[in-house]
Structure 1
Amino acid sequence: MKSIRMALVAVVATAAGLVVGPGVAQAADTQLGIDVGNIAWEQYTSTNSDVAYRLKERSGADCNFYTGFWADPNNDRYDGSGYGTCGPVSPGYMYRNGSKTWDDVRWRARAWCADFAKFAFYWGGAKYTGLTAAAGSFRTYGINNGTWHGRGSGYVPRKGDAAVYDWDGNGSYDHVAIVTSYYDTTTDGNHYVVGGNQSNAVTHVLHGNWESGVVGYASPAKK
């Protein structure tokens, strides 16, 4: 009887889009998550010289393209932050007067991990309302949209999730990065993230699924 029940659980899990591993049900990647993860990955791996140039800070601490995207008043997606320019001007896609345009983006300076992660959510087609330049806004976003998976939940991260970190454990959220792949469907397995402002650049890093600094994962929500 027990073996029959286990077989039924496996069938139900498979039908629900879950991959069953040893002692844990791993939700399959969603198309939205794949799209968000691909944006982060394509930024990191792009051979386009303009995109490659934007992957490192220039002209001083925290001076970066991704903040420039969100803080540019000429961008229809301007977040109202009003940060002053800090140096480089480089081209990128923005919306101007309702049209997608490859145009100059004036770089701006602030801690920019969340600006990069929000960029991936936005261009990946996810809802981005409520996301700000604060890493902790991804936790709030996940809670508000029912996509937050906190520490101790047994959740295994999926592609496109935003991993939120509190490295010193004081309740202040220090960093956020985008999961681009995972290769272990257990809670103590491993995944890769691409994140902005990692050693002052966009980098690709391997993490444990629930390493000490991870407080949770926010999956992208549909618009």
Structure 2
Amino acid sequence: MKSIRMMLVAAVAISAAAFGAATPAQAADTALGIDVGNIAWEQFTSTNADVKARLSETGTNCNFYTGFWTDPNNDRRDGTSASTCGKTTDGYMYRDGTKSWGAVNWRARAWCADFAKFAFYWGGAKYTGLNALASSFKTYGQTNGTWHTSRSYVPRKGDAAVYDWESDGVIDHVAIVTSYEDTSTDGNHYVVGGNQSNKVTHVLHGNWESGVVGYTSPAAK
């Protein structure tokens, strides 16, 4: 026997079809998106002491993820620089072509994009074109054909959610979608993001919020 909620959903769908309205459907999670989303989630939930230490910055913007991308010992460093800030913890990097667990020197800059890029990278997605700016995720999506504007799309696991809190046209933040509620553009999505209240945190947002600009799905290499 169908639940009342299922019957109501079906009724709405029939009504929409009758009037020619189209409601974006929830697409299935992709294997790549699942991998990216899992990286973000595992950062937040890990019981490893070194990973747990990453969850909060030290001082102002001193964090592990920027350290990862700017550490000169990392084969995958992005060529940018950030000031050292006196903290070191262990993590995986590629050194001389080999993946190894070792010291990563933390560095200081706004780091939400560095966290999201970390999830794309270790999740196996293309990360060329991403940088320390949250806006680079929108540009990446437009370049790779994986950008979806808010209210036109139901986010999937592993998408990068992009936000403009002041609605002034300036991208302020990016975080990784880890799950969603309902299957409509007016539902809610959960993200794990870096530099959220100076930490890596798990946050609920409504897809309908004015500050949600859109979503970039990870592209294959």
What TM-score results when the alignment is normalised by the length of structure 1? 0.88
- Whole-angstrom CA distance in 2 between matches of 1:105 and 1:205: 27
- Whole-angstrom CA distance in 2 between matches of 1:149 and 1:157: 9
- Whole-angstrom CA distance in 1 between matches of 2:193 and 2:121: 15
**Mapped pair 1:107 → 2:121:** no
- Say if 2:90 and 2:104, in contact at 8 Å, map to a contact too: yes
- Whole-angstrom CA distance in 1 between matches of 2:208 and 2:131: 24
Q: What's the secondary structure of 1:95's corresponding residue? A: strand
Give the C-alpha shift of residue 151 in structure 1. 2.9
Give the C-alpha shift of residue 26 in structure 1. 1.0
**Mapped pair 1:164 → 2:128:** no
Give the count of matched residue pairs: 201
User: C-alpha offsets along residues 152-206 of structure 1, whole Å, 9 cap, x if unaligned?
Assistant: 4x20000000000001111110000000001210000011000000000000001
Give the C-alpha shift of residue 45 in structure 1. 0.2
- Whole-angstrom CA distance in 2 between matches of 1:190 and 1:84: 37
Structure 2 residues not aligned, in runs of 5+: 1-21
Moved more, 44-53 or 209-218: 209-218
2:17 aligned residue: none
Superposed counterparts of 1:90-169, under 5 Å: 90-152=89-151, 154-169=152-167
- Whole-angstrom CA distance in 2 between matches of 1:99 and 1:108: 23
- Whole-angstrom CA distance in 2 between matches of 1:182 and 1:156: 9
Give the C-alpha shift of residue 82 in structure 1. 2.0
1:29 aligned residue: 29
User: C-alpha offsets along residues 23-52 of structure 1, whole Å, 9 cap, x if unaligned?
Assistant: 431110000000000000000000001100
Runs of 4+ deviating beyond 4 Å: none
Matched AA of 2:50: D
Matched AA of 1:211: E
1:51 aligned residue: 51
Percentage identity across aligned positions? 76
User: C-alpha offsets along residues 25-80 of structure 1, whole Å, 9 cap, x if unaligned?
Assistant: 1110000000000000000000001100111011x100000000001011001111
**Mapped pair 1:61 → 2:60:** yes
Structure 1 residues not aligned, in runs of 5+: 1-21
Matched AA of 1:117: A
- Whole-angstrom CA distance in 2 between matches of 1:168 and 1:24: 26
Q: What's the secondary structure of 1:24's corresponding residue? A: coil
User: C-alpha offsets along residues 75-117 of structure 1, whole Å, 9 cap, x if unaligned?
Assistant: 0011111222101100000000110010100000000000000
